[in-house]
Amino acid sequence: MTLPVTAVVVAYDSAHVLPACLAALARDGVPAVVVDNASGDGSADLAERLGATVVRNARNEGFGRGVNAGVAAAATPYCLITNPDLTYDPGAVAALLEAAARWPDAGILAPRLIEPDGRFFWQHRSLLAPYLTNPRNVIALPDGDCCAPFVSGASMLVSRDRFLDLGGFDPNIFLFYEDDDLCRRVADAGQAIVHVHDAVARHVRGGSSSPRKGRTRRARWHIAWSRAYVCRKWGLPDPTLALIRQNGPKWLLAALGGQGKLMERYGGIVAGAWAFRQGRTALEQEGLS
């Protein structure tokens, strides 16, 4: 039986996790499109050997732009956006598809994410959620299917047509907050965001790319920049001054103590916030503009 779904996996130096991810998809008969963001570790060739269709980007286009290319290359009614450091338990994809049939008004359906230590990852609120803002920060884990204000971009089942009609992930975002932004647009379009409890996925979180020098600073730069970008896009207060005031002194203390990793972390946040204030874009930062 041919399933009406294609997995879309964006890879960037992901050869260490791709085999498990693609094997779990193949076990359940789910074809995969792997969008390779100019990996240097042979991820693209590996994905082809493992039976995936591969879209080779000439350079790193970022997560959201990579997903958009993969969804465009797919030909099934549904696309399963999947991080390379994630594997699905047997029956998880079928449970997501069954839920999509039960709730045809759903714009996004997502599995229950389990972390390596066994914890259930549940993000109970989103910066951009127009409802269920959970101001008291009280976490109540669901024990069944439910609507949610936000689900992680690590795994999302979407209707291909609805995703493309909404414009996909915002192409101005290189990394981070693209899932918050998509969830907001789905909610504003009157579509539900559904957590499917019986669909279980195992997520390493942060394990998609192999470590390399400068990775932490780069990631923190984009966290700060993307947060400022979505705040401006959706009319929220500019967070950049607060980010600089909070992280600048921490960077200085780390520098005085010779703590290189902490310097990367706090310095990246300050640099990303400052770049946003100066009008620099994430695409310019990555040489994509």
- As a whole number of angstroms, the distance between CA 130 and CA 184 comes to 7
The average pLDDT across 137-142 equals 77
Closest CA to 85 of 35, 154, 8: 154
Instruction: State the Cα torsion 268-272-274-278 to the nearest 10°.
Output: 150
Range from 28-42, 140-154, 218-232 carrying the lowest mean pLDDT: 140-154
pLDDT of residue 213: 72
Range from 27-31, 98-102, 114-118, 212-216 carrying the lowest mean pLDDT: 212-216
pLDDT of residue 208: 59
In the chain, where are the structural domains located?
5-203, 215-285
Torsions phi, psi of 7, nearest 5?
Answer: -80, 135
- As a whole number of angstroms, the distance between CA 220 and CA 273 comes to 10
If pLDDT is split at 50, 70 and 90, which confidence band does 215 have? confident
Angstrom distances, CA of residue 267 to CA of 67, 174, 214, 251, 253: 29, 19, 11, 6, 11
- As a whole number of angstroms, the distance between CA 62 and CA 66 comes to 6
pLDDT in tens, 225-273: 999 999 999 999 999 999 999 999 999 999 999 999 999 999 999 999 9
pLDDT in tens, 157-179: 999 999 999 999 999 999 999 99
pLDDT of residue 137: 64
User: Mean pLDDT over all residues of the chain?
Assistant: 94
Closest CA to 123 of 107, 108, 142: 142
pLDDT of residue 13: 96
If pLDDT is split at 50, 70 and 90, which confidence band does 134 have? low
Token readout for 136 is 């008291």
Number of other CB atoms surrounding residue 26 within 10 Å:
15
Tell me the angle at which helices 260-277 and 215-233 cross, rounded to the nearest 10 degrees: 30
Give the CATH fold of the 5-203 domain.
Answer: Spore Coat Polysaccharide Biosynthesis Protein SpsA; Chain A (3.90.550)
Number of other CB atoms surrounding residue 42 within 10 Å:
13
Residue 138: pLDDT above 80? Answer: no
